[in-house]
A and B are shown apart, each in its own frame.
Chain A
C-alpha cells in the first residue's frame, strides 16, 4: 500500500459514507456455500430443488438428532453434546460403528460440520413459497479427492431419501 498523503483540498467535498443507503448485494446461503466449497477441492458437491417450502425443509434438517440418521448415509446415529448459540458439539456414529466428534455451525439455511476426517456442508434458500433449493457437499480432507465419486454417489442417495421423507 502507498504512503499516507498530505491533506487534499477535495476531501472536504467527499460524499458522506453514512448519509446514504448504499446498494448492497446479498449472496444467499446456497451461493455462499458454493463459494466456500471452492476452497475445498476434495469435496463432492451437488444441489437439487425440493417441492416443499424452505421452512419445511429446514425444520427437518435442523433436527440433527432426530433426522440426520434418516437421510445421511454416512450417519447411523447422532448425539448432541453441547450447544452455544449456533455452535454445536456433537458425535455421530459411522456405518462402521465408530463414534466421531463434529464441530457444527447451524443457522437457518446454513449448516457446517467438521470432524478430524470429514467436512459436510448443507445450505438452502426459498424458491417461491412452496419450493426450495438445497446444496450439499461432503468430503474427507484426509482421504482426499479419490473419495469424491463415493461422496457424490452418497449425496445423490441423501437427496433421494430426503425427497421421500419430506
Chain B
C-alpha cells in the first residue's frame, strides 16, 4: 500500500499507474479479486489507490480525497461485473475522472478556503505540491481534466475525447487553453 511520505508530504508520488495487464499473474490477480478473494482485493487496491489518488488530486484538488474514496468504492463494488480484465485501467480512469469532475464542481459552489502557505511575492516552485495546486486552481475543472489525461496519462486527443464524451475539436481547444493558462500561472 502506498502511504504518503510522512517526512516529506510534498514528495511526488511515483508516476506509474497500476501494473501492466499483459502478464498472466496480473490477469489472474484481477480474476481472483472478482471472485471476492480478500488478499487479491487488497493487492488490487494497493496498486490502484496511488494512481487514483493522483488523478483525483490533480483534477478535484481539495475535493480529491473524497473523489478518490468514491472512485475506489465504486470500483470495488462493481469489479465483479467487469468482463475484460484488460480494460480495468480505462474503466477505473473513467470512474475517477467522472468523480473528480463531480466533486470539483460541487466544491466550486462552496466557499473557497484560503491557503495557509500562500505567501505573496514568493516565487512558485514546481517541486512543491501546494504551488502546483495553486496554479491548477486557476483552471476550470473541465480544462484540468484534459490537461491531466493528455499530459499525465498520455492519452491521445481522440482517447481523451472518447473518455470525456466530447468532440475532438473541443478537447483540442481546451487543451491549448489549459496548457497556456498553466504556463501563465507560473509567471504570475
Contact = CB atoms under 8 A, between A and B. Distances in A.
| B is a partner of A | yes
Interface of A: 1-5, 8, 10, 13-27, 29, 31-32, 34-40, 103, 105, 107-108, 110, 112-114, 119, 121, 141
A21 B12 contact: yes
B97 to A, nearest CB: 13
Q: Identify which of A32, A40, A114 gathers the most chain B CB atoms within 10 Å of its CB.
A: A32
B46 to A, nearest CB: 9
A2 B164 CA distance: 13
Contacts of B12: 18, 20-22, 24
Interface residues on B, range: 35 or more
Contacts of A5: 156-158
B157 A35 contact: no
Given A35-B73, A35-B76, A107-B1, A25 B57 contact: yes
A43 to B, nearest CB: 9
Interface in B37-54: 37-39, 41-42, 45, 49-50, 52-54
Contacts of A17: 15, 151-152, 154
Given A8-B157, A19-B126, A35-B76, A27 B65 contact: yes
Per DSSP, are chain B's interface residues mostly helix, strand or loop, or mixed? helix
Interface in B104-157: 126-129, 131-133, 136, 147-148, 150-152, 154, 156-157
Contacts of B53: 24-27
Interface in B1-21: 1, 3-4, 10-13, 15
